[in-house]
Amino acid sequence: MATLYNVKNLKWTKAKNGYEVFVHSLSGRGAAAKLLLGGTWIRPREGGQIIFRPEDEDKTFHREFAKITNGKSALAFVNRFGLPRSVQKESLDGILEDSNNVAKLLRELDQKRRQVRSTTIGGLRDARPLVDLFNNAFDILFGFRLQTAKNDNSTALAELFPKTLMGGVLLKVAEEVTNGTQWKTCANPNCKIKMFSIGPDGRQRRLEHCPKSGTCKKAWQRLKNKRSKKGLSSKE
C-alpha cells in the first residue's frame, strides 16, 4: 500500500546570505557546452546553508513559485525558499520554464473552480502536463521509501517523498488537483499570511478574508464600505 507524503514535513536548504545572479559566457567553448551551461544562472552567496521547512515560510510556496516571471521575481523566490532543484546553482531559463508550467496548471485549476459551485471539483481538463512534470527527471525530484504504519509495526507502507523543493511544489499542486482545496488571496493588504485555504466542502467559498482573523474581517468590511460608497462592487 502506498501513502502520499505530507509536504509539511519537507525540509530544504537555502543560503544564509542569499543568492546572486551570474552569467556563464563560456567564450571559446563549443556550441554544445554553451547550450547546456551558457546563459544566466543563480547561485548561493558564500556563508553556508540553513535547513528549514518551506511550509513554515509560506503554506502556498507552490503558488509563489508560479508567480515567477523574470529574473527579479526568480531571485526573490530563491532568497525565500532556496533553489528549486539544486543547492549549488540553477539556470534562470530552467526556473522560468518550471514556473510557467506550474502556473498554467494552477490557472486552469482556478478557472475551472470559478465555473462550478463546489470546490470539490479538483480535476484538470487534461492531466498529461502534470503527469509529464512528475515523470520528467522523476528520480531527481522524488524517491520511494518503506516505513511502518503509525502505531502498527506489522504493516509496511511505501511512501513517495520529494527530494527537492521542486518535488514539493509538484506534490502541492497534486494535492490541489486531488482534494479540491482552493487558495484565495486575503482582501486585507496587510495580512501576514496573504492567502487562506477553502476546504473541499466549499462552505467558505464566498469568503474574501482569512476566516479566523478579526483584523482581516474588519479590513475587508472597511474596503467593502469604501467601494460601496464609490458605487463599485466588492470585487472590483
Ranges 23-27, 142-146, 226-230, most confident = 142-146
Q: Which residues lie below 8 Å from residue 61, measured CB to CB, with a gap of 6+? A: 54, 55, 81, 165, 168, 169, 172
Q: Is residue 124 over pLDDT 80?
A: no
176 neighbors 200 (Cβ within 8 angstroms):
no
Each domain of the chain, given as residue ranges in start order, spans: 2-180, 186-236
- pLDDT tens-digit series, residues 81-94: 999 999 899 999 99
Q: How far apart, in whole angstroms, are the C-alpha atoms of residue 78 and residue 46?
A: 15
pLDDT reported for residue 34:
44
| Residue closest to 184 by CA, chosen among 176, 192, 174, 194 | 194
Stated as kind and residue range, the H or E segment containing 90 is strand 90-91
188 neighbors 212 (Cβ within 8 angstroms):
no
Q: Which residue has the higher pLDDT, 72 or 109?
A: 72
- pLDDT tens-digit series, residues 155-210: 777 778 889 999 999 988 888 877 766 777 777 777 766 666 665 545 555 566 66
Stated as kind and residue range, the H or E segment containing 40 is strand 39-44
pLDDT reported for residue 158:
76
pLDDT reported for residue 138:
80
The whole model's pTM is what?
0.75
What does the longest C-alpha to C-alpha distance in the chain come to?
Answer: 66
